[in-house]
Homo-oligomer: A and B are copies of this chain.
């Protein structure tokens, strides 16, 4: 990686960390700069303004991370019920960077930025749509192999599962991670009913 590309990545990585914990608007450019060796000149050389940096962060940091954790494990699903549940278990309990107190970076940004900025909304919708598509496709494969009832609507299931995740991430910010296990248990009951 060239030195310039490295500077850019440093900005996005540190911005991601701070915005995850503090929120987008509460994280100032000066705050990002103070915790890196990057100067204001470098920041505005790489990004036209704060929002362009924020969008780059979504597309270049959050999107790849969520694809690896949430989408990839569901491609070529043989056992959708268990694989969806396991994927959820992994993201809630096994990703070390994510802390209950701070919730999910993408969910946080949807909450804060969707109503305020159309570009953010579009970029974030792309994330959740990809995830829902992966779940939907997984359920469809389960229908093909008769492990899922024929009358199940895969898109509806995907919507319900993603909403459940967003919600438990929200709840966990106030109530702590103990609710994750409760959620996983009831998610299993919901998923079993699809068979």
Contacts and interface: CB of A to CB of B under 8 A. Distances in A.
Interface stretch (A35-43, A45-53, A167-175): A167-175
A31 interface: no
Interface residues of A, number: 48
Given A167-B168, A182-B156, A185-B156, A174 B128 contact: yes
Chain A contact residues, majority secondary structure:
helix
Given A107-B170, A163-B168, A116 B156 contact: no
B110 A174 contact: yes
A169 B167 CA distance: 8
A156 B186 CA distance: 7
A175 B179 CA distance: 26
A164 interface: yes
Interface string A117-142: 00001001100100000000000000
A166 interface: yes
Among A108, A124, A173, A187, max chain B CB count under 10 A is at A173
B167 A21 contact: no
A49 to B, nearest CB: 17
A18 interface: no
Interface string A140-176: 0000000000000101110110111111111101110
A194 to B, nearest CB: 8
Interface of A: 21-23, 25-26, 101-103, 107-108, 110-112, 114-116, 121, 124-125, 128, 153, 155-157, 159-160, 162-171, 173-175, 179, 182-183, 185-187, 189-190, 193
21 contacts: A21-B115, A26-B116, A103-B115, A107-B111, A108-B111, A111-B111, A111-B170, A112-B112, A115-B173, A124-B174, A153-B185, A155-B182, A159-B179, A159-B186, A160-B164, A163-B164, A163-B167, A163-B183, A165-B167, A166-B168, A189-B190
